[in-house]
Chain A
């Protein structure tokens, strides 16, 4: 754990153009507004986390970045390209991978096939190499390659969801609540993996979490979302120390 604590390290220079720039994004479900003008920057090589309560709009932002639902106003620019109106599958091909909320593995397909699906954007070109890599990151998956994904435990399914996202060799990894419904020990493992992937490969990670303590400890920078608006931002350490954040999101102990 101490390793993570020391990680709150200097964020890469904020002056560069961000890899992902969300500007004034408003998203509606029918007539109900879910995002009321959100601005977020994610720079290359960073881990950025977005914390907030249930229903704040965190997952909506995640899905809006992926084009389903599309933002009604504002813009989302990824690596210099406007992706606001792009269909989801094309966004995925630009090098953004997502581990969706609730894991969403393919339950009746084997772990191996799930990983193949993850690699489908690059036509299985680097499949063997990448399979070896994710199996090194998650040794549990190697043991279970032939098993149906639906028979895995919750933690293993989450590992699979992340591994599947990694199989497409993304530049930007979006993780929607990877700690959801997992035992504290597994949560720690998964966060450790995120830190490793970021440190070793320089992969940019945008992490949506309710588990604010772990997420802020891990992240270089963080944003706090309340009711579809970003109310606070800062480095992970700043937010962890902030009395408001403490009161709203960190009560109930550090587990």
Chain B
């Protein structure tokens, strides 16, 4: 092995340069008209063509050099790849030890931020980064049950998020319920406790809608299932837009009660949180509290899905993903198995939705567009189907990445004032997707951890196993 590495074959430069020249020629062909010529207006409103040879040359040169570097890298790496050890064991270790470390970090996160940047700057970091990412982690873990474990491709997951959000919003702002509660328990009760009472209701309603979606798609798989679930997501959104009496249409629902600290509201009033605990009033307490709510909700999601994987129903989900026909012939009721997967996945989407409505205080159908479903699915797929830690990493990259883009003010000095990096997020997102699919087509963490062990863990990298035939 040692000797082999020393006697590495020389890099074939002629071939590399030829290859790079070819790529540059293609780039020239592509960009000559697209970039090399610019249409412009003269003062007399005439259209003229402005040639831009420098830009064109820079692009072609960049392609040439880039191709050369990639070729060189591949040539030097080619024989090293044969020695590459499967890394699945390290990934599983990461999954095992990474999770407690991550949880510890998350619990400490708001306080760390608070002490580093102070209460003013902290809201942004806890809300935009912390809470936002945690919502997507929770949604990713919820969808992971449906897509990652049961293998049912669901493109309309945002529908359950919407069901949860609207259930909470409608119940919490409902005057009859508020009056009724005021009569039997007391004024202000509903305002303070609505979130805690509606949270389970939102989950149950979403689970119910999950079953409702489940029935018509029982016989569908793969692409067809994806299309129907996509349509389902759109139907829910369109109903919310058009049934104005029910959901207030585009205008959405506002003044949704915020969650209270188990009955103590986060207000500046005398009975508010700050006054009760002898603190100076600041909106940061609510934000921190919301952070911990979503953290707990997300951890519950993770705990439930980890536990379910070890129970018969979870094993049945995974078997269903692998081979439905074999499942049936082993006496597994595939109808129930699919419906429970849809229902439980949807339930967590509903919880997340209720939390979202409570955090925003305002919801409208705008928040539940297909792009959301796509993003959640992208998180699950990028993370590696079925991997909890993978979902965490993918959400941080995708959701946190977009937020980071907004922070990159220094780029304005490089590209001029009109440059807004956040506008390039879809482009960057797309490039990341393509690169991911090239290098890690099974997701960031692709090794599946068996649910039972006899003596020692021995995982086989997904790359070595053929895809399941469904």
Instruction: State how many angstroms separate the Cβ of B275 from the closest Cβ of chain A.
Output: 56
A61 CA to B458 CA, complexed, in Å: 40
| Stretch binding the partner chain, chosen from A49-57, A77-85, A103-111, A194-202 | A103-111
Taking CB atoms and an 8 Å cut-off, the chain B residues in 316-371 that contact chain A are: 316, 318-319, 321-323, 325-334
Contact: A112 with B450, CB < 8 Å? yes
- In the complex formed, the residue of A with least CB distance to B462 is A108
Please give, as numbers and ranges, the residues of chain A lying within 8 Å of B460 by CB-CB distance: 147-148, 151
Beyond A120-B315, A120-B316, A148-B465, is A109–B322 a contact (Cβ under 8 Å)? yes
Contact: B454 with A146, CB < 8 Å? yes
A92 CA to B325 CA, complexed, in Å: 12
Contact: A150 with B331, CB < 8 Å? no
A109 CA to B450 CA, complexed, in Å: 7
Instruction: State how many angstroms separate the Cβ of A20 from the closest Cβ of chain B.
Output: 15
Please give, as numbers and ranges, the residues of chain B lying within 8 Å of A118 by CB-CB distance: 330
**Residue A227 is within 8 A (CB to CB) of chain B in the complex:** no
Please give, as numbers and ranges, the residues of chain A lying within 8 Å of B327 by CB-CB distance: 117
Interface residue range, chain B: 35 or more
Q: Contacting A145 at CB < 8 Å: which of B322, B454, B466?
A: B454
**Residue B58 is within 8 A (CB to CB) of chain A in the complex:** no
A243 CA to B436 CA, complexed, in Å: 62
**Residue A7 is within 8 A (CB to CB) of chain B in the complex:** no
A104 CA to B330 CA, complexed, in Å: 11
**Residue B216 is within 8 A (CB to CB) of chain A in the complex:** no
Please give, as numbers and ranges, the residues of chain A lying within 8 Å of B325 by CB-CB distance: 68, 100, 104
- In the complex formed, the residue of B with least CB distance to A150 is B465
Please give, as numbers and ranges, the residues of chain A lying within 8 Å of B312 by CB-CB distance: 120, 123-124
Please give, as numbers and ranges, the residues of chain B lying within 8 Å of A16 by CB-CB distance: none
**Residue B464 is within 8 A (CB to CB) of chain A in the complex:** yes
Other CB < 8 Å A-B pairs besides A108-B318, A108-B462, A108-B468, 11 of them?
Answer: A66-B328, A66-B329, A68-B328, A89-B331, A89-B334, A104-B325, A104-B326, A107-B469, A112-B452, A113-B451, A146-B450
**Residue B178 is within 8 A (CB to CB) of chain A in the complex:** no
Closest A-B pairs by Cβ, 9 of them: A92-B331, A106-B322, A121-B331, A150-B465, A104-B326, A88-B328, A98-B329, A110-B450, A89-B333
**Residue A44 is within 8 A (CB to CB) of chain B in the complex:** no
- In the complex formed, the residue of B with least CB distance to A170 is B331
Please give, as numbers and ranges, the residues of chain B lying within 8 Å of A97 by CB-CB distance: 329-330
Please give, as numbers and ranges, the residues of chain A lying within 8 Å of B466 by CB-CB distance: 107, 150
Chain B contact residues: over half helix, strand or loop, or mixed?
A: loop
Please give, as numbers and ranges, the residues of chain A lying within 8 Å of B452 by CB-CB distance: 110, 112-113, 116
Contact: B458 with A146, CB < 8 Å? yes
Please give, as numbers and ranges, the residues of chain A lying within 8 Å of B425 by CB-CB distance: none
A90 CA to B329 CA, complexed, in Å: 9
Measured CB to CB, the residues of B under 8 A from A are 312, 315-316, 318-319, 321-323, 325-334, 448, 450-458, 460, 462, 464-469
Please give, as numbers and ranges, the residues of chain A lying within 8 Å of B455 by CB-CB distance: 146
Instruction: State how many angstroms separate the Cβ of B194 from the closest Cβ of chain A.
Output: 42
**Residue A158 is within 8 A (CB to CB) of chain B in the complex:** no
Contact: B329 with A106, CB < 8 Å? no
Contact: A151 with B465, CB < 8 Å? yes
Please give, as numbers and ranges, the residues of chain B lying within 8 Å of A123 by CB-CB distance: 312
**Residue A210 is within 8 A (CB to CB) of chain B in the complex:** no
Beyond A108-B448, A146-B450, is A89–B328 a contact (Cβ under 8 Å)? yes
Beyond A98-B329, A100-B329, A148-B460, is A109–B318 a contact (Cβ under 8 Å)? yes
- In the complex formed, the residue of A with least CB distance to B467 is A107
Taking CB atoms and an 8 Å cut-off, the chain A residues in 98-154 that contact chain B are: 98, 100, 104-110, 112-113, 116-118, 120-121, 123-124, 145-148, 150-151
**Residue A237 is within 8 A (CB to CB) of chain B in the complex:** no
Contact: B468 with A117, CB < 8 Å? no
Please give, as numbers and ranges, the residues of chain A lying within 8 Å of B321 by CB-CB distance: 108
A98 CA to B327 CA, complexed, in Å: 11
- In the complex formed, the residue of B with least CB distance to A116 is B315
- In the complex formed, the residue of B with least CB distance to A66 is B329
Contact: B458 with A107, CB < 8 Å? no
Contact: B468 with A150, CB < 8 Å? yes
- In the complex formed, the residue of B with least CB distance to A123 is B312
Please give, as numbers and ranges, the residues of chain B lying within 8 Å of A117 by CB-CB distance: 315-316, 319, 327, 330, 332
A91 CA to B319 CA, complexed, in Å: 19
Please give, as numbers and ranges, the residues of chain A lying within 8 Å of B329 by CB-CB distance: 66, 88, 92, 97-98, 100
A150 CA to B323 CA, complexed, in Å: 12
**Residue A168 is within 8 A (CB to CB) of chain B in the complex:** yes
